[in-house]
Amino acid sequence: QVQLVESGGGLVQAGDSLRLTCAASGRTFGLYTVGWFRQPPGKEREFVAGVDWSGDNTNYAEPVKGRFTISRDKAIDTVYLQMNSLKPEDTAVYHCAARVQSEILHTPELYAYWGQGTQVTVSS
């Protein structure tokens, strides 16, 4: 099993950048597909970005394409989400999640392991 801890959230203005970090412990992170999800206030979680075990295959939700980049450093069991050109609609609690299977999927229920989340707030 893997344990996940997110960090890097904060309060920024529209147009600013943040880099979120997902640090893993337990079973080697290199065996997991990792996704970033976000949950705006009062709304359900939605897929943001995913990366497979190799780090070469990535997938992004349409609203963040061209602005967000997911990457992983297998040497230190860490996955990043670089967020540029942030917009107020990006405001949410951001979670990283992991699944053993190799496919990058968009459904939260298909990810077995979750971090506690980190708050990202983007003001106008």
Percentage with pLDDT > 90 across the chain: 81
| Contact present, 70 and 50 (Cβ < 8 Å) | yes
CB neighbour list of residue 32: distance below 8 Å, 6 or more residues apart: 2, 24, 53, 98, 99, 100, 113
CA distance linking residue 72 with residue 108, whole number of Å: 20
Helix (H) or strand (E) holding 41: none
- Give residue 51's identity as a one-letter amino acid code: V
Q: What is the mean pLDDT of residues 88-107?
A: 94
Q: What is the mean pLDDT of residues 70-84?
A: 93
43-53 pLDDT, tens digit per residue, is 999 999 999 98
Ordered strands of the 78-83 beta sheet:
2-7, 18-26, 78-83, 68-73
pLDDT over threshold 80, residue 27: no
pLDDT band at residue 31 using 50, 70 and 90 as cut-offs: confident
CA distance linking residue 81 with residue 71, whole number of Å: 7
